[in-house]
Structure formats: structure tokens, C-alpha cells
Amino acid sequence: MDRRTLLVTLAGGMLVAPLAGEAQQKTVRIGFLGNGSVGTTDYVGDLRRGLREFGYVEGDRFIIEPRFAGGKLERLPELAVELVRVPVDIIVASGPEGARAAQHATRVLPIVVAIMHEPVAYGLIASFARPGGNVTGLAFQESELVTKQLQLLHEALPQVSRVGVLYDPSGGGPSPLKAAEQAARAIGLTLKIFEVRAVEDFPRAFEAAKQGRAQALLQLGSPLFGSNPVPVAELARMHRLPSMCEQQRLTAAGCLMSYGPNFSEMYRRAAYYVDKILKGAKPADLPVEQPTKFELVINLKTALALGLTIPQSVLQRADQVIQ
């Protein structure tokens, strides 16, 4: 190679290097596939917060393309396809329903799921340690959670022997329901299952629970409840049925108690997976995390309105008490 050719080659290399660096700093489009409605939660804000912690600046290094199903899970597939067509570089989905919709829409784009219930049973991942495919994120075993929820409800209301279970078949698999039945038998509680598939089913379910002489309610995890906290709480108060819920925001709306992971923190933690993937990691190789902390929240205003006294032994274990 002569001197002239060498200089041209070096100059070309000097030009290419900055362009490659700029490509690495390109603005990334992150699709957000949510079950709820705009304004009902700020999970997008939690994701933004997490991304900022990793140095991503919105409008500069990333743009979020949000899509919300408004509690209508049947809309998730079309919204997932819409995100793929934008196109986005990565999808952050909520719940197994959002994950399944995103996975059906694309087997190529990386999918980070902020909240998964029983992901192996749902067929979303091969295992927690090696997810395989294009899905990873955060998950918890709802069957174990349901067992603890019933135990806490029994400790808080030892006089209760008949518990109604609000169950959305489209929002959760059979495992949590089986776990609730097993836990109830061990504690000595009688369960009555009431299926709900839409907001319009709530009044009928609560009326049936009251007529069935239920003394309390257990709400199994479902986006249907999380997206409609106010009507659920109002019906529980109207029928004077103390309820155990999964999400803190339901307790803030009037549910008596909730026990579950901090969903806001799970969305914030989803940013860790987004960062890893954008830096070259494959979802198939990123182990699915499980939360280590579960929070008990008790609404004493609801307890007072229902004429209930929560034992001090339970109150002392609460992470938050709403006065």
C-alpha cells in the first residue's frame, strides 16, 4: 500500500468511527403496552424514572410510544401490532396478557414484561434462569401470593369463615384459583367463586356474593380490577364486604387490605432490562427476576366504616396504614 492510499484509508476510518458512535447514540423508540388507561396509573412515569437512572434522556436518547387497552384486554393484540408497525425498537409490556399479545405480534423485537404471573405456566418463557425466545423481565408466583393473602385475611378477620373469590378467567390462569382452594381448606375457610370478565359483571358478582352469605372477598390478580379500582371499592363498601386485594392502589381506593409486590418499583426495574438489551444483551439470556419484598397495606378508614377492628398483631406488620 503506498503512502497516498494509506492516508485515504486512515481518513476514511476517522470518518466512519464517529458515525458508528452516533448510531449507538440514536434515539430509541420504546413501545409501552399497558392494560389500563391513561391517568389511572403512572407506570409509564415509573419506567421513565428508571431509564433516567441509567442515563437515558427522553427526547434525546429515547422516546416512549404508549398504548393503553383501557381495561379491555381484547384490544391488546391490535395495540401490539400497532407498536410493531411504528416501528419501535423494544416493547415494555404489562402482565401475561400484554406479554402474550406482544409475543404474537413479533418474535424478533425484544419484549420486557414489567409484571408477569406464572410466566412458565403461561408459556411465555422456558425457565426463570434461561427465558429463551424474545421475552424477559420481572415475575412473581401468584399461587404463592394468593396463599399468603388468604392467611393474612384470616388473621385480620378471624371471625370470617365464608370468603367470596372474584376471579377473572381472562386475567389469570387456573393456578391461583387452585392455590386459593388449597389454602382455604388448610385454614378452614369456605370459598365461593364468582367469575367476572368485564366491569359490567361487578354488580352482579357482588350481589351474588352477598346473597351467598360471603363475609369477605378475595380478589385474584387481574388487570380488570387494577384498571377499575373505584367501582370495585364502592361496591365492596355498599355490600359491606371487606376485601383483600393485590394492588396498593386498590386499597387506597377503599379495599380493606392489599398484599403484593410494589408494581411501581417493578416498572422502574424494567429499565434495567431495557438498558441491558440496548447494550447488546439478548432477552433469551437475561434471567427473569422475582421481587423479594411484598407490601401489606391496610385501610383503617374502610375498617372503621365496616365496623371492623384489625388486630394489633396484623397492624404492626403493615408497611402502610391508611388512616
Spatial contact of 67 and 82, defined as CB atoms under 8 Å apart:
yes
Spatial contact of 184 and 157, defined as CB atoms under 8 Å apart:
no
At 4 the pLDDT is 40
The secondary structure of 126-138, three-state, reads CCCCCCCCCEEEE
Q: Please provide the average confidence, as pLDDT, over all residues in the chain.
A: 88
User: What predicted TM-score, i.e. pTM, was given to this entire model?
Assistant: 0.84
The stretch 251-265 carries a mean pLDDT of 93
Q: Band of the pLDDT at 72, cuts 50, 70, 90?
A: confident
Residues 211-238: pLDDT tens digits? 999 999 999 888 788 778 888 888 998 9
Identify the three-state secondary structure at position 109. Answer: coil
Helices vs. strands in the chain: H and E counts, helices first: 13, 12
Identify the three-state secondary structure at position 62. Answer: strand
* Dist CA 107 CA 247 (whole Å): 31
Distance of CA 299 to the CA centre of its chain: 22
Spatial contact of 219 and 239, defined as CB atoms under 8 Å apart:
no
Spatial contact of 135 and 115, defined as CB atoms under 8 Å apart:
no
* Dist CA 116 CA 134 (whole Å): 14
Residues 103-130: pLDDT tens digits? 999 999 999 999 988 888 888 999 999 9
Domains of the chain: 26-140+262-292 (3.40.50.2300), 142-261+295-322 (3.40.50.2300)
For the purposes of burial, counting CB atoms within 10 Å of the CB of 207, is it exposed (0-12), middle (13-18) or buried (19 or more)? middle
The phi, psi pair for 297, rounded to 5°, reads: -120, 135
